[in-house]
Amino acid sequence: MKGLFVKDMYTLKRYGLWYLVYCLAFTLLAVFLENPAFVTGLAVLLPLSALSATVTADRKDNWTEYALACGQSPFAIAAEKLIIALTLSLITTALWALSYFLAFRTFDDPAELCITAALSFATVALSLPLSYKLGVERCRLVLGIIMLVLMVACVALLTAAGNGLSDASPLLFSALTVISVATCVPSLFITASVIRPDKSLSP
């Protein structure tokens, strides 16, 4: 799996500066406008961008076929992509917490943090198998629709949190985060079942 990480890190290196700029810009916007929701959007876009870039590079260079021919298991290939995406989800979730603290000099709203984390993890769980099953281009279209639905749900949850639902049911949003993390497990196995020598390069 080390070789898979090295290859994907090399792929993402060309996006590294842009990711850094995006993180800085969205965090500053969240702080100065006192609206951490800017980072919530980043928590969706960054993992999705990383998955899109790495899977596209794999398909372009026939890397998945090569890795399978060299003895890598479909599970290892899927797990490596999942680890990268979840790492970015954790980073952006931490940025949300940082932006909230810098904006308000306190941290008294764990509900919105849980919603941000849940949305980011759900994005990863949905996009990983779809990227391999549908191909990156078709996956972007489908995920665009799914993300719209998730963002509407996110706005509704943030509104509910702002109206005091988080105080009435403090475990609700924590459970939402746990469920979204748990969905990454079946996502991993589904992706592994999709990655096959005769299907990994299908359009």
Q: What is the mean pLDDT of residues 17-44?
A: 87
User: What's the whole-number mean pLDDT along residues 108-137?
Assistant: 83
| CA-based torsion, 112, 118, 124, 129: positive or negative | negative
> What pLDDT score was predicted for residue 183?
92
Q: How far is CA 136 from CA 2, 53, 60, 133, in A?
A: 24, 9, 11, 9
Residue 1 has pLDDT above 80, yes or no: no
Contacts with 75 (C-beta within 8 Å, 6 or more apart), sequence order: 188, 189, 192
* CB of 31 closer than 8 Å to CB of 111: no
| Dist. CA 142–CA 150, nearest whole Å | 12
What is the per-residue pLDDT across 132-184, written as a single tens digit (0 to 9) for each? 887 766 766 776 777 677 667 666 666 665 555 545 455 777 787 888 899 99
Q: Decide: helix, strand or coil at residue 105.
A: coil
Q: Please tell me which residue, 24 or 173, carries the higher pLDDT value.
A: 24
**pLDDT for the residue 39:** 87
Q: Which residue has the higher pLDDT, 137 or 96?
A: 96
- Residue 200's pLDDT band (boundaries 50, 70, 90)? very low
User: Would the pLDDT of 38 be above 90?
Assistant: no
Please give the pLDDT value at position 170: 59
Q: Name the average pLDDT for the chain.
A: 81
Give the pLDDT band (50/70/90) at residue 95: very high
- Residue pLDDT, tens place only, 128-141: 888 888 776 676 67
Share of the chain above pLDDT 70, in %: 82
Structure confidence at residue 81 as a pLDDT band (50, 70, 90) = very high
d(CA 62, CA 84): 20
Of residues 93 and 174, more confidence is placed in 93
| Residue 125 near residue 189, CB atoms below 8 Å | no
Torsional sign, CA 154, 157, 162, 167: negative
pLDDT for position 57: 83
